[in-house]
Amino acid sequence: MKIKNFKSTCLVLLFSCTVFSCKDLTVLNENPNGVNPANANPNLVLSTVLTESGKAFVNLGYQDIAGVMQHTQKDGWSSGHNEYDWGGSQSWAGYYDILRNNQYVYDRAIATNSELHQGIALVMKSMMFGLITDLWGDAPYTSALKGADGGAANTFPSYDSQESIYTGILADLEKANTLLSKNATDYPVTVGTADVYYGGAPAKWRKLANSLALRYYMRISSKKPDVAKAGIEKIVGNATQYPIITAIADDCAMPFAGNSNDDSWPANAIYDASESNYRRIKMAATFVDRLLAIKDPRLGVWANKVKIQLVVDPSLPKGTDKIDGNKRYLSPDKVAGKEYNTNEYVGLPTAMVGGAAYNLSPTAEQAANNPHVSWLNDIYKQAKGTLLKSRLMSAAEIRFILAEAALKGWAVGDAKTHYEAGVKASLDTWGVGSSYATYIAGDGVKYDGTVKQIIEQKWISSWTAAQEAWFDYRRTGFPALVAGPQAKRKVLPVRFFYMLDERNLNKVNAESAMSKLEQTEFSAADGKNSPWSKPWVAQGTSKPW
């Protein structure tokens, strides 16, 4: 009986194979519910490119790079955020995924003769490759995104120099400026709701393209000052041909949908009932103390006051330690020899010794609940909101770039005017523009004609977009931040490690790129592939240290 059943089964399998072998396998494998990549509308992929890029930028600028630039510090899971103990954990795989999707958008735009999509794709290509080279240095560029073509050269792409990547980015942005120069009605293929940045407005994308060019000309200004000067002057001197972002209405800022944790503000408390990720991010003392010193009205937008303020009162009886309302009253003997802060806003010191039990935390093991340090404003608990945006490029950044360029003597206008416009744009962005007149006249804010002051205000305005402040710090040494006592090195890092997977799988090319890094006294046991080894853009500049 078993033998008979076995024979029957074989006959059925043979018949099945015979029948199906007559079919075209390309037809069999076509998903009837899917979209054919060969003729898909590029808008179907463009929305993914834009949303994933927005998330990638804010995840840097609100998370560990905010720790590097001392906007925030964490009181738990803090080694990467506070101490730069990265261990090669960062990966560019997600960025290249975005670039592959973006290449598809560009290729479909060429096939459909859509200059609007071509221009947008070139802007996004420039933005993402710019981020990669800013973070790592040399990287796959001209040979990247060709893995589907097969062959060793495409599977294991060579690395382009950081210098040549910046050059390629600027060339692509020049091309994008031309592609995006028509009126919206002149483009036969529209973008519409797929564009979560600008709603398909080519004029705004054109401004973004030229504004990104200003960013990258300034990025290379220490290494190629003549190129940077000519490029910036060309753009600023031809406003009709090269429009730029000068009003916050043109900022490239992506809102969040808030429908799930994946499309919501990172570390929100809506999809994390424990509020654990929100609670662990605290304001940094460096940032808070500076904002208090210059009476910055943005502090109250970004941070909560301490829940319970410390009050040390010499008139109180010895041994007094009591809470009354939102104040904790202590006699001087209770704080003798202890570090404490009695301000209404209190930040965590950078990479401090002894964990995060700072400012008389009631219990060290519950430092995340410390009521005597400033938590982030409650808006950062939300999944979405009018101020909760991924800020990829702003009018404030452009104004500060132009202020710095003017100080260099380049023909871009008056440095003071640009500086003050940058401050005003940032205050307006965060809803405190009514404080501008008082603020701009204050000590430490009133224009003093120094790069230090311009970069400091740019650092402040980069809140939640701290990666830009990091790249400015690497280039200028400002603001003059100091690593904390628990930090992995005595100075701040300037780049990411090349990750282990890349060093193993693309060994020859990765090692060639590492050999071009400038090892410093702070590279230490890391060798050349260190966050404290300088990429091309910082080599020979004596910056930031």
Q: Is the peptide bond before 362 cis (omega within 30 degrees of 0)?
A: no
pLDDT at 77: 84
Q: Is the pLDDT of residue 365 over 90?
A: no
pLDDT at 22: 43
Average pLDDT for the chain: 92
- 415-429 vs 395-407: helix crossing angle, rounded to 10: 160
In the DSSP assignment, the letter for residue 139 is B
Q: Is the peptide bond before 544 cis (omega within 30 degrees of 0)?
A: yes
Confidence of residue 31 (pLDDT cuts 50, 70, 90): low
Does residue 253 contact residue 211 with C-beta atoms inside 8 Å? no
pLDDT at 34: 55
Task: Write out pLDDT tens, residues 495-521.
Answer: 999 999 999 999 999 999 999 999 999
Task: Write out pLDDT tens, residues 459-474.
Answer: 999 999 999 999 999 9
Give the phi and the psi of residue 309 in degrees, each rounded to 5. Answer: -85, 140
Type and span of the H or E element at 288: helix 285-293
Confidence of residue 61 (pLDDT cuts 50, 70, 90): very high
Confidence of residue 405 (pLDDT cuts 50, 70, 90): very high
pTM comes to 0.92
Query: Could you give the CA distance from residue 474 to residue 468 in angstroms, rounded to a whole number?
Result: 10
Pairing of strands 309-312, 252-255: unpaired
Helices (H) and strands (E) counted in the chain, each on its own, are 21, 7
Does residue 106 contact residue 180 with C-beta atoms inside 8 Å? no
What average pLDDT does this structure show over 413-417?
98
What average pLDDT does this structure show over 150-177?
96
pLDDT at 377: 98
In angstroms, the Cα distances linking 299 to 287, 302, 318, 447 are: 9, 5, 35, 20
On the CB side of 172, how many CA atoms lie within 13 Å of its CA?
Answer: 25
Task: Write out pLDDT tens, residues 183-231.
Answer: 999 999 899 899 999 999 999 999 999 999 999 999 999 999 999 999 9
Q: Is the pLDDT of residue 38 over 80?
A: no
Torsion of CA 38, 43, 47, 49, to 10 degrees: 50
Give the phi and the psi of residue 252 in degrees, each rounded to 5. Answer: -90, 100
Does residue 115 contact residue 187 with C-beta atoms inside 8 Å? yes
Q: Which residues contact 355 (CB under 8 A, 6 or more apart)?
A: 75, 364, 367
Q: Is the pLDDT of residue 47 over 70?
A: yes
In angstroms, the Cα distances linking 200 to 45, 120, 539 are: 14, 9, 40
Lowest mean pLDDT among 110-119, 282-291, 345-354, 441-450: 345-354
Share of the chain above pLDDT 90, in %: 86
Does residue 363 contact residue 407 with C-beta atoms inside 8 Å? no
Query: Could you give the CA distance from residue 321 to residue 312 in angstroms, rounded to a whole number?
Result: 9
Which amino acid appears at position 70 of this protein? Q
Q: Is the pLDDT of residue 15 over 90?
A: no
Which amino acid appears at position 260 of this protein? S
Task: Write out pLDDT tens, residues 65-100.
Answer: 999 999 999 988 889 999 999 987 899 999 999 999
On the CB side of 302, how many CA atoms lie within 13 Å of its CA?
Answer: 27
Query: Could you give the CA distance from residue 226 to residue 220 in angstroms, rounded to a whole number?
Result: 10
Q: Is the pLDDT of residue 293 over 60?
A: yes
Nearest-5° angle of CA 498, CA 476, CA 131? 35
pLDDT at 148: 85
Which amino acid appears at position 292 of this protein? L
Does residue 463 contact residue 500 with C-beta atoms inside 8 Å? no
Query: Could you give the CA distance from residue 413 to residue 405 in angstroms, rounded to a whole number?
Result: 9
Place of tokens 């940077």: 228
Confidence of residue 21 (pLDDT cuts 50, 70, 90): very low
> In the numeric block, which tokens belong to residue 222?
């220490």
Radius of gyration of the chain (CA): 27
> In the numeric block, which tokens belong to residue 85?
């103990």
Nearest-5° angle of CA 100, CA 105, CA 130? 55
Torsion of CA 177, 178, 182, 186, to 10 degrees: -120
Q: For residue 405, with 0-12 CB atoms within 10 Å meaning exposed, 13-18 middle and 19 or more buried, which class applies?
A: buried
Confidence of residue 273 (pLDDT cuts 50, 70, 90): confident
pLDDT at 101: 97
